[in-house]
Structure 1
């Protein structure tokens, strides 16, 4: 008589560890998908503050190293740090404008001090952020993300013009060619290549620029093969009050962005994020940001493009992104890699930057699609974007104001974020419920008693259909248009 076969508990796909021959290429794919975005911030900030090639290369190495550590903390986790889902961490674009303003007003040590303060603030706020989240419905977060991308377009233009009044024909030609190549990859390349189109655009554009004498890799030979990322390389951090306040606003934006990414990836991998996991993930963001300040880099957040990659590949294991973290640490410890990146021609960076920062704008628009656009909500977006773009189109607009005011409002990102939050509080008070889920639903006109993703999707679809029918009845338009 045969015995019944017994099986142990089934491990969730999130916790499965693929074989090494699959683990490494899958992890490398995540690194390639986020690499261009990961190294862009130290390139932007270092260049804007006038640092040497060697210093910018060091900033890139530090960025990659801490990004790897942050990814390991978020994916594997320890104690109450880390959401333990397949998430990649990298420096946020939301901090670029405020950091440049801080660096120009003080120096880079003030950036690192404000970053450390921001990290501590995020750790402290993580357990109660769910109650604050109601102030950041899709109307606010979508507007802020869109403002980030719009504000960064000036950086792309500065790369193309070498920060002069006008671009040289050769530089403009290389920027345009790089951008066209990225578009062609998106249109005609296989999905695996299309996902890294920006990175490939940088690589091919740089190779083509070599015969034209536009590539300066003199620093590569001087850079070592291995180096330790020393803490406080640029000196002890300083903590100007205005700089800290400016960065705390960024911290709220980061936490909102990471919350959205965690909820999205939890749904993708069929492991919904609990309130405790949300706090653990946000606490990991704060720890990574604090480490960033000590290790000469900047605030960290989850990278949305990698959430999309998880959705596309359906590879749910958090150990894949943990492998990505190991790869990032290895790259950060090899200075020659950072020196190669720093040698990419500015014109090529400018062409890729148009696509990269445009994707940030598009991500904001995608978030705003969830919003029911009443006249009030249109006004919130319009005024916040207008306030944010004032210092972008007229950099000297606040030149006669006190330094603390300039530090906050010279950055279109922080000015726009403050405007969006306050306008939403003033004009949409009826949507501010005690439950953050209900508040997010209210911004999308979804009944607050619906909480499961399938219920929310059905409610949104019904609302969209009703709105289309109503619009058609009002003006005779074709609802299919």
Structure 2
């Protein structure tokens, strides 16, 4: 077994730029992929299921997601002209985009192609504002970012609960030209809940007693156990698997040419800002972990790659991209700082994208199997936000609780009362129907009202220290 990397024997530049032997690099790259895989495919499953896409279309979304994630990871790790932070970063679809994308896709006047049009524009917007993020850091101190990340996790918890129940509790069906809500009689089936609970228990057990790689892929192993039980009980089927090709290439604009609708674009540009803030925190944490000093130019390159990756996502039928926090944590755990390990992970993601049968198998996983895993994944997102909020000095900032309480309260409106804003103009729906966007706007405005704007240096210092503690 290869000994852990000894950071004391090399300089920071050597550690980050070190080219490891190919077998070790491949193995460590595979480890990164295993850690992020469940989270990587979660967004296509959520969005595809919420929009009522077929199993074949969801499988295509997963393939497209893996391909784009691999390409963007390579750009971030290796660099491409003025793009890429050239550090061990793994990229995946941001959960912050889930709510707005579902709201856009479910709107009959917008639809899936409007998601991709808005995603492309948001990516271009991200590349343009990337150089300004250093100045905007003062608007997004840990009080705001911690609140937003907490809200993301809490908002998505409803998705995990519906997964555990076997889907949506009701669906809309057209009867005599009128839409009616039809209750799902199988929702909450005890057998489905039992399998979801089993997955959760397996994850808890592995996280408690597992070591090394086994502990890191506890979520994936929990899903595997749930799949095995579902297969044994005859509750999981692979209809259409035989027709799926072994090899395929993801083509741009598979679902049609993108549509550029202003409400959707505004919503996704707000998500892009959130994504850039999340990535900034992760990059600052990674700089502290690897010992590489984070300069404005380096930060801009990383954020610009986020924007380019989002454009690539829109072109290849997928979604906005950001750095995955669990992989930043894995760098800390393993002590391996080489960016070529992340590049190896990117190549593995691309190879997986070329195997549609694998994507079809993943798309066949019953939603209740994902339920137990979703509670862990989304709960961990919320827990990360709570840990960032725990770094705040509430004695010195006596209005912080107002910012947190009001922002989360407003952000939960679309989750707890989805029809509250139904009479507002249709162009507001992508914004008002997304708790994450509502909560973010509220947190930024309230923080500015109570605390003003921090200096760039102080904001970077706070963001780096709070994100590092959250890892």
TM-score, scaled to structure 1: 0.88
Q: Is the 8 A contact 1:119 1:285 kept in 2?
A: yes
After superposition, give the CA deviation of every residue in 1:52-106 in whole Å (9 maximum; x if it has no partner).
Answer: 0000000000000000000000000021100000000000000000000000112
Of 188-197 and 44-53, the range deviating more from structure 2: 188-197
1:395 aligns with 2:400: no
> What corresponds to 2:450 in structure 1?
427
Q: 2:401 aligns with which of 371, 375, 378?
A: 378
Q: 1:327 aligns with which of 309, 332, 348?
A: 348
> Aligned partners of 2:430, 2:36: CA distance in 1, in Å?
30
> What corresponds to 1:126 in structure 2?
130
> Aligned partners of 2:207, 2:439: CA distance in 1, in Å?
31
> What corresponds to 2:241 in structure 1?
220
1:61 aligns with 2:63: yes
Shift of 1:412: 0.6
> Aligned partners of 1:262, 1:439: CA distance in 2, in Å?
14
Shift of 1:160: 2.0
SS across alignment from 2:275: helix
After superposition, give the CA deviation of every residue in 1:182-235 in whole Å (9 maximum; x if it has no partner).
Answer: 001111111321111111111111011102121121232221111111000000
> What corresponds to 1:357 in structure 2?
378
- How many residue pairs were aligned? 437
> Aligned partners of 2:235, 2:434: CA distance in 1, in Å?
31
Deviating 4+ runs (over 4 angstroms): none
> Aligned partners of 1:15, 1:413: CA distance in 2, in Å?
37
After superposition, give the CA deviation of every residue in 1:363-397 in whole Å (9 maximum; x if it has no partner).
Answer: 11121122122431001000000001111011111
> What corresponds to 2:173 in structure 1?
none
Shift of 1:415: 0.7
> What corresponds to 2:176 in structure 1?
none
> What corresponds to 2:429 in structure 1?
406
CA 1:439–1:319 in structure 2 vs 1: closer, same or farther (change >3 Å)?
closer
Shift of 1:41: 0.1
SS across alignment from 1:301: strand
After superposition, give the CA deviation of every residue in 1:6-36 in whole Å (9 maximum; x if it has no partner).
Answer: xxx9961111111112011000000000000
Unaligned runs of 5+ in 2: 1-10, 171-186
After superposition, give the CA deviation of every residue in 1:402-455 in whole Å (9 maximum; x if it has no partner).
Answer: 1122220111111111111111111111xx13x3222355x79xxxxxxxx8xx
Q: 1:261 aligns with which of 273, 282, 288?
A: 282
> Aligned partners of 2:207, 2:164: CA distance in 1, in Å?
22
Q: Is the 8 A contact 1:138 1:440 kept in 2?
A: no
> What corresponds to 1:148 in structure 2?
152
> Aligned partners of 1:73, 1:135: CA distance in 2, in Å?
28
TM-score, scaled to structure 2: 0.90
